[in-house]
């Protein structure tokens, strides 16, 4: 029999779980440990290269502060498993650097692993209803930005806007490449270029930036 240690950490995604109670924490850990591509670590090992899975019933200010610390100070990528999320909190969460969100009532084993791996890749992963709410905010923010003189005059190229618009619609790298007749490498380079230039943390943060500035 092959032991877990024989997998080492090569090619595996290191994950730490932050939960408000032992039952939630052990439940998530039990689900993640069944997957050899996941390497479960202790909470104290949060840092660059890890994915932090944060579980919460709702998002209050202490939770939002913890999200910011995990992503900005500790350098981890974040997955938020949450019971409820108010409309006004959605962009705040994304701007904190959260790349994936999972509803607690939908947090099955496969759904958690999917979200963790998406976050590790730097992709966005939102529930369909949250994606719909995000797209609704596109219209609201776009209308308010339209009244500002020269709103999207500079900052993002037409190619970057095209890619971000499709990211906002929930498409992954391969789907964006097919839609725009680009190679997947080109899509990745576009995303890397704009996130690096604008000091954005991931795709979701890039979409939030584009929404707030009225590009999409």
Q: What is the pLDDT of residue 138?
A: 54
d(CA 141, CA 174): 28
Q: What is the pLDDT of residue 80?
A: 94
User: Residue 195, SS3?
Assistant: helix
Q: What is the pLDDT of residue 152?
A: 41
d(CA 98, CA 66): 11
d(CA 208, CA 32): 29
Q: What is the pLDDT of residue 45?
A: 86
Q: What is the pLDDT of residue 4?
A: 41
Mean pLDDT by 10 residues, the chain (216 residues): 42 91 93 93 87 90 84 86 84 78 93 92 81 64 48 64 86 89 88 84 82 76
Q: What is the pLDDT of residue 148?
A: 46
Q: What is the pLDDT of residue 107?
A: 92
Residue of 123, 85, 119, 118 lying closest to 104 (CA atoms): 85
d(CA 15, CA 187): 27
Q: What is the pLDDT of residue 3?
A: 39
DSSP assignments along 116-166, one per residue:
HHHHHHT--B--HHHHHHHHHHHHHHHHHHHTSTTTTSSSS-HHHHHHHHH
């Amino acid at each position: 029999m092959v032991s877990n240690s024989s997998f080492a950490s090569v090619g595996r995604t290191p994950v730490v779980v932050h939960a408000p109670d032992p039952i939630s924490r052990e439940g998530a850990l039990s689900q993640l440990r069944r997957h050899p591509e996941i390497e479960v670590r202790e909470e104290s090992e949060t840092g660059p290269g890890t994915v932090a899975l944060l579980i919460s019933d709702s998002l209050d200010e202490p939770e939002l502060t913890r999200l910011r610390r995990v992503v900005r100070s500790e350098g981890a990528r974040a997955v938020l498993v949450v019971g409820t999320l108010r409309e006004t909190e959605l962009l705040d969460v994304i701007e904190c650097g959260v790349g994936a969100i999972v509803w607690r009532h939908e947090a099955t084993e496969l759904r958690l692993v999917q979200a963790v791996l998406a976050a590790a890749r730097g992709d966005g992963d939102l529930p369909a209803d949250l994606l719909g709410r995000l797209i609704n905010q596109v219209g609201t923010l776009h209308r308010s930005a339209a009244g500002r003189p020269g709103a999207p005059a500079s900052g993002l190229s037409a190619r970057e806007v095209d890619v971000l618009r499709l990211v906002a619609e929930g498409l992954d790298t391969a789907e964006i490449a097919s839609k725009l007749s680009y190679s997947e490498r080109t899509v990745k380079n576009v995303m890397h270029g704009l996130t690096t230039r604008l000091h954005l943390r991931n795709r979701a943060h890039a979409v939030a930036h584009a929404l707030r500035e009225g590009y999409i």
